[in-house]
Amino acid sequence: MLARDQVDHVARLARLELTEEEAERMAAELSKVLDHIEKIRELDLAGVPPTSHVVDVVNVLRADEPSPSLSVESALGSAPDVVAGGFGVPSPGASPA
């Protein structure tokens, strides 16, 4: 069960602005999905190692050699705002209400 204040907290973590209606619906829908997911708690998983990567690979290393990469112009080509050869953003200083 996901309470409404948890939805608001998670939305803040996820940098998502939800409307009142979206937040209410999200609480109901996610609660239903979580009820189903909760079934894995019935399993005895003590001592089972977690799997984060399915294929048994060791660290992959390569020589650190320079090679051609995207030009600055090309990398900035899709940016909504370009300022002085970089990505332009609003000030991070002002704190949101």
Partner 1 sequence: MDDILELTGAQAAAAITRGELDARELFELYRERASRDPLNAFTWVAEAPPASDPAPAPLAGVPIAVKDLYCTEGVPSQAGSRILEGYRPPYTATVVARLAAAGAPLLAKTNQDEFAMGSSTENSAFGPVRNPWDRERVPGGSSGGSAAAVAAGLAPWAIGTDTGGSIRQPAALCGVVGLKPTYGACSRYGMIAFASSLDQAGPLTRDVTDAALLLSHMAGRDPCDSTSIGLREPVTLPSRSDLKGVRLGVPEELTGADSGVQDGVRARFDETLAIAENLGAIVEPCRLPHAPHALSAYYLIAPAEASANLARYDGVRYGLRVDGDDDLLSMYRRTRAAGFGAEVKRRIMLGTYALSSGYYDAYYGAAQKVRTKIAEDFAIAFGTFDFVVTPTSPWTAFELGSKAQDPLAMYLNDFCTVPMPLAGIPAISIPAGLSDGLPVGFQFAGPAFGENALLDAAFALEQALEFDQRPARLHESQLVGAGDAEGTQ
At 61, is the secondary structure helix, strand, or coil? coil
Site for partner 1 contains 39 (CB under 8 A)? yes
φ/ψ of residue 42, rounded to 5: -70, -20
Give residue 53's identity as a one-letter amino acid code: H
Residue whose structure tokens are 């650190």: 64
33 binds partner 1 (CB under 8 A): yes
Number of residues this chain uses to bind partner 1 (CB under 8 A):
56
The CA-CA-CA angle for residues 18, 96, 12, to 5°, reads: 35
Residue with tokens 């294929």: 55
With binding defined as CB under 8 A, does residue 66 bind partner 1?
Answer: no
Q: Is position 58 an interface residue for partner 1 (rule: CB under 8 A)? A: no
Is 45 near partner 1 (CB under 8 A)?
yes
Site residues, partner 1 (CB under 8 A) = 2, 6-7, 9-11, 13-18, 22, 26, 29-30, 32-34, 36-41, 43, 45, 48-55, 57, 60, 62, 70, 74-75, 77-81, 87, 89-97
